[in-house]
Each structure stands twice: as structure tokens, then as C-alpha cells.
Structure 1
Amino acid sequence: MRIPSRVLGGVLVATLLTQLTACGTLFYPDRRGQIEGKIDPAIAVLDAVGLLFYVIPGLIAFGIDFASGAIYYPPGTTAHVDPAKLKPAIGADGTVDNAKLQAILETELGQRLPLDDPRLIQHRGSVEQLTAFGLVPAA
């Protein structure tokens, strides 16, 4: 059974067009304009697929992604919450109520953090940190 040449040509043109527009620029247009950062391996692999099948479009895809900055991860963001607002989440014995803490962080930061995730690693605070919150350390 022969595949019509028009169908084969259409698939080839579509593949070349997607490689020419570069994967990172297509998938993450909000990342454009960055000049450095950590390279997103998923985008690098997708661009490398273009190198395997079509060398010139693959090189163009890498060039576009590096030139536009779309191949880089977005810069990290940080957030700060006033320690006084965190006091209701800390019990008298120094234990942290994750439900209250999650509610406070959600209202202050505007995003939900998975504090009930079993992979969450909790660290104990020092005596100095407890006294900064006005709590009496319990032995």
C-alpha cells in the first residue's frame, strides 16, 4: 500500500514548520527575553529531536530558543510572610498546625502550598526561634 505523496509532503512540511518555530518559543512564550539561567532539559530534548531528523531545522530551533531565552527556566521567585502573622499556626508547645499554616500562607501569598504532602520534610526550630515568637521552649 502506497502513501500518497501529498499526505507525506504535508506531514513533512508540518514537521519542518514546528521545528523552525522552536519548541521553547512555542510552548513557553512567557519565557522570552531571558538572557541566562538553567536550561530546561525538556525543551533541549525537543530541540535535539530536530537535530536527529532534520539537522538544519534542529539548529535553527536551538538558535531561536537560545536567542529568545525560551530555553531557560523562569527565574525563581521568593515570598516573605511577617512572622507575627504566623503565630496563630504555632501551638503553645511549639508544634505547628499544618492546616492553620496552610490557610495563613494561602491568604498571604495567594497560592496553595501542599503542606499535607507525605514527602514534606519538617525541621525543628531552635530555642532562639521559639523565643522570637514569644513561645516557651518545652523539653
Structure 2
Amino acid sequence: MRAPFRLIGGILVASLLTQVTACGSIFYPDRRGQIDGKIDPAIAALDAVGLLFYIIPGLIAFAVDFATGAIYFEPGRTAQVDPQKLKQAVRPDGTVDNHKLQAILESELGRDFPLDDPRLIQHKGSTQQLALLGLQPAA
């Protein structure tokens, strides 16, 4: 009879400990020590998941990430790519070469984006966006 209670208690303690530790501090320990910057939305969303399950551990996760600075992007790094570099992935007919785009994003952002995933939803750009890139719309 005591074994199930110990098992349930152990699972509860383990889940609370994982909620108390902040996501930014776990995933990006090199970001600690920053004072301010742009907030990383992925880390903020992961901390917010803690709020869905338990209010106190979720608030503690946010507090730890803000106090340590792990919730902020690294200084000098952004999640943006220069449009001039993205022009290389656009074909003359105005369509996008996913393989070239994936290579550009990997080299610029240092992250892997699975652009060949069948679940990827692609949206068509507007003529204003094409004009900003210096391209002519092809119909």
C-alpha cells in the first residue's frame, strides 16, 4: 500500500521540480547574466506552459529567467535575415527555392528549419513585399 503512494509522491515531486527550474536557464545557460534585451518568445511560451499547470512554479520560472537574463536573446543576435540575402532564394519567376532558402536560414540563424515538411503552410506574398525586394510579380 505504501509503494503506490511513494510512486505518486515521487512523480509529483519530479514534476514540481521540473516546473520550478526555468526553461531559459536549462536550454540556454550561456545567456545567463544579461540585464535586458529582446525577449525570446519560445522561452516565454515554455515558461507560460508552467502557468497552465501550476501558478506558483510558472511564476517562479518567469522570475528565474528574468532574474538570470536567460529569457533574452543573446546580444547582437536577432531572428532576422537581411532581405538582400534572401533574394538569392527567389527564382526569376518569383517562386521561392526552398532548398536555397533553407541553406540561407541555416547559415544566417544557425538553426535548422525543415522547409520540406509536408505540414508547412506557405502563404503568398503581396506585391508590396515583392516591390521591397526589387522583384516584379509574375502571374
* 1:69 aligns with one of 61, 64, 75: 61
How many equivalent residue pairs?
A: 110
TM-score by length of 1: 0.59
Question: For each residue in 1:36-84, what CA deviation from the matched residue of structure 2 results, as whole angstroms up to 9, or x when unmatched?
Answer: 963359x83xxxxxxxxxxxxxxxxx476245238xxxx7977111111
Offset of residue 138 of structure 1 = 2.0
The amino acid that maps onto 2:134 is G
* Fraction of identical pairs, as percent: 42
**Which residue pairs with 1:30 in the alignment?**
22
Q: Does 1:12 align with 2:22?
A: no
* Rounded Cα–Cα distance in structure 1 between residues aligned with 2:24 and 2:88: 41
TM-score by length of 2: 0.59
The question of whether the paired residues in 1 share the 8 Å contact of 2:89 and 2:98 is answered with: yes
The question of whether the paired residues in 1 share the 8 Å contact of 2:83 and 2:133 is answered with: yes
* 1:39 aligns with one of 42, 46, 49: 49
Offset of residue 27 of structure 1 = 6.5
Segments of 5+ residues of structure 2 without an aligned counterpart are 26-42, 63-70
CA RMSD of aligned residues (A): 3.7
The amino acid that maps onto 2:18 is L
Q: Which has the larger radius of gyration?
A: 1
The question of whether the paired residues in 1 share the 8 Å contact of 2:50 and 2:57 is answered with: no
Offset of residue 123 of structure 1 = 1.6
